[in-house]
Structure 1
Amino acid sequence: MFERFTTSAREVVRGAVRQADETGGATVGEPELLLALLDRTNTPAAHVLTTLGATARRASIERALADVRRRGGISPADAEALAGLGIDVDAVVSRVEEEHGVGALAATPRRRRSRGRFDPEAKSVLERSLRIALGRGDRHIGDEHLLLALLARPGVAANVLADHDVTYVQAERALATRARSA
């Protein structure tokens, strides 16, 4: 599969590994793939993310991803659903952190290097990018396919991007508009 990756898609994968190493993640996950995509310039995915305003809202996206990590993977939508059941996720997180330290619920222990290991969700994104590329009739897997794969199913990255008004349908439209104007 990796032989089909464009240079840009390979750079996203390498960038995701760097992101995981910088944040102390033991594995590469969806958040790291998203941050690596946000680092790209002059590529189809960069065009989409810029067009839809995600690039300009990077700091907010980074904060949202950090909040999800701090809450042990619980997204804002999950927290809202739990609030409807009377569970205050922020109160639970605060209490755990009082007892066990800041970041106690973070999904990955600090100070471990990823060594390029991808978690199951990130592996699924990579596999889905191939199916998306084939479905679009493309012979390569570019960073745009990685972005679409992140957005295609609910997950940390898709939820955070949706909270920042970036959805699969909008990304598809932005890619189609770009292709027509090229």
Structure 2
Amino acid sequence: MFERFTREARDVVTGAVGHAERAAAERVTEEHVLLALTDRPPFTALGVRPEAVAESLAEARRRGGLSKVDQEALASLGIDLGEVVSRIEEAHGVGALDGGPARRRSGRPRFTPGAKKVLEQSLRIALGRRDRHIGTEHLLLALLTRPGSTAEVLADLGVTYARVEAALAPPRAS
């Protein structure tokens, strides 16, 4: 499969490993793949600042990975997630729910099942689009198909599957 990856897509995979290493993470996650994509086309063409992505991902980690849907469900039960997070952080420090840096074994961090699924899905998307390569656009579209905080962060920033596909579509002849 990796022989189909463009140089840019390979750089994103390598960049994701780098993001995980800098965060002292034990595993490379979908979040790391997204962070590695934020300064590359087609993401840059969407007008979303990489800093906004990083901030939104940090906020999602701060909530312990709970989505806004989870937050609304808890609110319907009378549980204020913001208050819960604040109390936990008062007792255990800021970022207590994000898992903090894990103790890593020696060597490179491995990919989580979710991050592996993103790579697999990028191949499926490329095949579905009849592309002979797997590029950064396929990685971005694959991230958008996976449930969880990464796709939610993208959606909150206005990055949707339809918007990315529209940005990739060749201009129509008049």
Deviation at 1:176, TM superposition (A): 0.5
Provide the TM-score with structure 2 as the length reference.
Answer: 0.88
Residue 137 of structure 2 corresponds to which residue in structure 1? 144
RMSD of equivalent CA atoms: 2.1
Assess, with a 3 A threshold, how the Cα gap between structure 1 residues 81 and 60 changes in structure 2: closer, same or farther: farther
Residue 9 of structure 1 corresponds to which residue in structure 2? 9
Amino acid at match of 2:77: L
* Alpha-carbon distance in structure 2 between the residues aligned to 1:110 and 1:39: 26
* Alpha-carbon distance in structure 1 between the residues aligned to 2:6 and 2:149: 25
Measured against aligned partners, the alpha-carbon deviations of 1:80-121 in whole angstroms (never above 9, x if no partner) come to 332232221121112222222222211453464782311111
Measured against aligned partners, the alpha-carbon deviations of 1:18-57 in whole angstroms (never above 9, x if no partner) come to 11111222211111111100122xxxxx13x233222xx3
Find 2:66's aligned residue among 45, 52, 74. Answer: 74
* Alpha-carbon distance in structure 2 between the residues aligned to 1:142 and 1:115: 23
* Alpha-carbon distance in structure 1 between the residues aligned to 2:51 and 2:68: 17
- What are the equivalent positions in structure 2 for 1:22-171 lying under 5 Å apart? 22-40=22-40, 46-47=41-42, 49-54=43-48, 57-107=49-99, 109-110=101-102, 112=104, 115-171=108-164
Runs of 5+ consecutive residues of structure 1 not aligned to the other structure: 41-45
Measured against aligned partners, the alpha-carbon deviations of 1:121-175 in whole angstroms (never above 9, x if no partner) come to 1111111011111111112111111000001232222110100111001101110
Of the structure 1 ranges 28-37 and 102-111, higher mean CA displacement relative to structure 2 is found in: 102-111
* Alpha-carbon distance in structure 2 between the residues aligned to 1:172 and 1:74: 28
Assess, with a 3 A threshold, how the Cα gap between structure 1 residues 2 and 108 changes in structure 2: closer, same or farther: farther
Residue 43 of structure 1 corresponds to which residue in structure 2? none
* Alpha-carbon distance in structure 2 between the residues aligned to 1:116 and 1:2: 18
* Alpha-carbon distance in structure 2 between the residues aligned to 1:64 and 1:147: 17
Deviation at 1:66, TM superposition (A): 0.5
Assess, with a 3 A threshold, how the Cα gap between structure 1 residues 161 and 145 changes in structure 2: closer, same or farther: same
Assess, with a 3 A threshold, how the Cα gap between structure 1 residues 69 and 8 changes in structure 2: closer, same or farther: same
Runs of 5+ consecutive residues of structure 2 not aligned to the other structure: none
Amino-acid identity (%): 61
* Alpha-carbon distance in structure 2 between the residues aligned to 1:96 and 1:158: 26
Assess, with a 3 A threshold, how the Cα gap between structure 1 residues 84 and 159 changes in structure 2: closer, same or farther: same
Provide the TM-score with structure 1 as the length reference.
Answer: 0.84
